[in-house]
Chains A and B, each alone.
Chain A
Amino acid sequence: MNWRKLRIFILTVLALALIPATRYYQIDVPLLHFLKGSRAIDPLTLHLAGEFVENNLGTEQGADGSVTVRMIAQQYLFVPHCILVPAGVPVHLRITSADAVHSLAFNGTDYNVKVLPGTISEAQLRFSNPGDFKTVCREFCGAGHYAMRSELKVVPREQFPVLRAGERGNCAAQ
């Protein structure tokens, strides 16, 4: 009887431990797909519905102090062009492509996120110190590729504007 209880207990702990582990290592498991829904998205209709409509792009403030940043990569620019995030908080990046394969690299950091059309790329970032970063596309995407750059401004937490419901932060709002 004790053995069985112990076995159940260990299995439960392992099963639960799997969830943060897959989150941390961003492992793509079917279970997560099942729980979170598919990450497939039609690159041709981003502007019509869903989380990448214009007014949902930019920085969203979470209730727990973290922020979610949504961006679109397209030939040959990132929108929004300038991203504003507070320093020292978890930044959940969600980005997708409207056309080709791109990548979003933050100069001076080792973050480099691959962006594919048809799927949402997610990454968990954190910028501990305020500063300005140039972000560049590191995946050759066509004629205007080398000019495909944008900016990321990291500001001290107290300088990040308080956003109204439904409002998204960007550099212009600072």
Chain B
Amino acid sequence: MRVKGETVRRNKRQGGYDWSFLWLAVAVVATGSMMLVASDSVPERIPSYVSWTPETIAAAYSGDDFRGMLLAKRCEHCHGAEGFSDRGSTPNLAGIDRLTIWKELEDFRSRKRTSRVMEPIAESLSSRDVADLVAYYARLPVFADLQDNRNFPQARPDPSHAGMASHLVSFGDGGRGIPPCQSCHGPVAYRPGVPSLANQNGEYVLSQLEAFAGGTRANDINMPMRTISSLLTEDERQALAEYYGAGLGLQPGSSSGAR
């Protein structure tokens, strides 16, 4: 059995232990907080509220194409009765995949993509309307129908432009870091929300490439198109627009731009 005095002394020593561990804890916490990256808070710029989560994709695929057909009467005047516009500056919607049309309409609705014409139209649509319209347009056939006065396809570009464009579409330009258009826009590979350009009007393609390069269209998630388009020369943008506008985008493989 110990004397009382000894126990007291022991406790004091024990106190020494505690004290040193406190130091250690302080040191660790201090170093840890020093390692935390101090980030100044800047308001973030969001290109689009859409993200390709399974929920989003399910929502975009939930539409009823028959109801979409009825709603599409409102769009006919500009986008054409069969989804092919009679004006080169208005996009063709026939056969464009559901995710793209859904995203563009959502972006017009949230004003992340600006268009004086489309913003009020998209705003007047409910979420269900959007899904139904998307189902309808994605289903429309893309083969030529000579009955309506569609703008597509336009005359073939001259050989130098055609060659320049087809090289960029198939191979891109590794030296400048431009990936081939067909690796995202098809028919070689597709990605969610990337439209096929195979049946798109040349004039519209050019206007969008210029808008991406100039930053007036900035709704592409993680900036692929703003980056790529600003690496292209004006002549290349022109050539690519002529190429797609003439329907040459179909050639590398598939027989139709529809998925």
Using CB atoms and an 8 Å cutoff, list the residues of chain A in contact with chain B: 1, 4-5, 8, 11-12, 15-16, 19, 23, 32, 35-37, 44-49, 51, 53-56, 68, 72, 74-81, 98-99, 142-144, 146-151, 165-166
Q: Is the CB of B180 within 8 A of A74?
A: no
Question: Is B159 part of the contact surface with A, judged by Cβ < 8 Å?
Answer: no
Q: How many residues of B contact A (CB 8 A)?
A: 49
Question: Is B177 part of the contact surface with A, judged by Cβ < 8 Å?
Answer: yes
Q: A47-B222, A75-B184, A144-B180 are in contact. Are A149 and B44 (CB under 8 A)?
A: no
Q: Is the CB of B27 within 8 A of A147?
A: no
Q: How far is the CB of A10 from chain B (nearest CB, A)?
A: 11
Q: Is the CB of A72 within 8 A of B222?
A: yes
Q: A76-B183, A144-B183 are in contact. Are A47 and B51 (CB under 8 A)?
A: yes
Q: Is the CB of B224 within 8 A of A166?
A: no
Determine the main DSSP class of B at the interface with A: loop
The residue of chain A having its C-beta at the shortest distance from the C-beta of B33 within the complex is A35
CA distance A4 to B171 in the complex (A): 70
Q: Is the CB of A36 within 8 A of B36?
A: yes
User: Which of B42, B173, B178, B188 is in CB contact (< 8 Å) with A56?
Assistant: B42
User: Which of A1, A51, A143 is in CB contact (< 8 Å) with B183?
Assistant: A143
CA distance A68 to B223 in the complex (A): 20
Q: How far is the CB of B37 from chain A (nearest CB, A)?
A: 7
Q: Is the CB of A143 within 8 A of B39?
A: no
**Residues of chain A with a CB closer than 8 A to B223's CB:** 54, 79
Q: Is the CB of B42 within 8 A of A166?
A: yes
> Known contacts A15-B28, A80-B227; can you find 11 more A-B pairs with CB under 8 A?
A4-B17, A32-B35, A36-B35, A51-B39, A53-B45, A54-B47, A75-B179, A76-B183, A99-B191, A149-B174, A151-B177
Q: Is the CB of A44 within 8 A of B23?
A: no
The residue of chain A having its C-beta at the shortest distance from the C-beta of B191 within the complex is A75
Q: Is the CB of B32 within 8 A of A36?
A: yes
Q: Which 3 A-B pairs have the closest CB atoms?
A: A144-B183, A35-B32, A144-B179
Q: Is the CB of B44 within 8 A of A79?
A: no
